[in-house]
Amino acid sequence: MSFQSDSKGSPGDFFDLLERSGYRWQARIDPAQTQKDFAVTQGTTVLAFHFEGGVIVAGDRRATAGNSIMYEHCDKVIPIDDYSLMAIAGVPATAFEMARILTHNFEFFRRSQMQSMSGEGKIRALSRLLKENVSMAVQGLGGVSPIFATYDLRARKPSIHFYDMLGADFQIRTHTATGSGSPTIRGILEHEDLWGEKPLAQRPESSAVTLAIRLLQTAAQFDSATGKARPEDKIFPTIAIITEAGYRFMNDQELADICKTSLQR
């Protein structure tokens, strides 16, 4: 049986391999420089919640830098392995690098230990990256607020985890959201879970997808950094589903058909 831990030199420890190879995760930026010296691109808003049979992870597509809209096709829901997704609000450059390291980490463990990393191991790996990124985050140059969703094949159930800037993780029983549009989303999700037609975890996939699209559209009404779905311009939110079969992203045609009905008044 393989052993997995955070200690240096343990079998399957990809972070130790990076350090021994001379790679340093933290970017080197002069501490005297502050966020005002850079046009830092930011991404918002993302959410995740349990539905019947799995987890839905969603995000808008807008990236901003200050008051400027930089990009309307940003992918904020990132595959990590066949059963795991990371949704990011914050600096995309930092988040994408985290995602690449995590992907290689999980694959390195699988190949070296001849088995997939446990759900707990995956959760700790992202926590470690965030802890090592604190210096960048406090400078306002590399802050990331991620949601990690995965299906644990050993426990045979999906899970959602939210992380703070210091890397502390919190398992989410029902729903979560992060980013500048998240206050509106969290309030609606809580209302829907408590007083909607069914608790979120009992809703079918079609209902969950419709709700996710409407939530992001509502957030965009109150938050200029959150991009609206614009079917006429072929701009749709990112919607992904995780079940025991793995993750699946909804394609533009599926989203276009759903938006025709879900966004009608």
At 176 the three-state DSSP class reads strand
Q: Rounded to an integer, what distance in angstroms lies between the CA atom of residue 245 and that of residue 151?
A: 9
Structure tokens at 46: 């993302």
Q: Within 13 A of 112's CA, how many CA atoms are on the CB side?
A: 16
Catalytic residue check, 44: yes
Choosing from 44, 45, 150, 238, which is the catalytic residue?
44
Name the residue with tokens 């699209």. Answer: 213
Q: Rounded to an integer, what distance in angstroms lies between the CA atom of residue 3 and that of residue 114?
A: 12
**What's the angle, vertex CA 136, arms to CA 135 and CA 139, rounded to 5?**
90
Q: Rounded to an integer, what distance in angstroms lies between the CA atom of residue 63 and that of residue 74?
A: 6
Q: Are 105 and 79 in contact (CB under 8 A)?
A: no
By annotation, the residues acting in catalysis are: 44
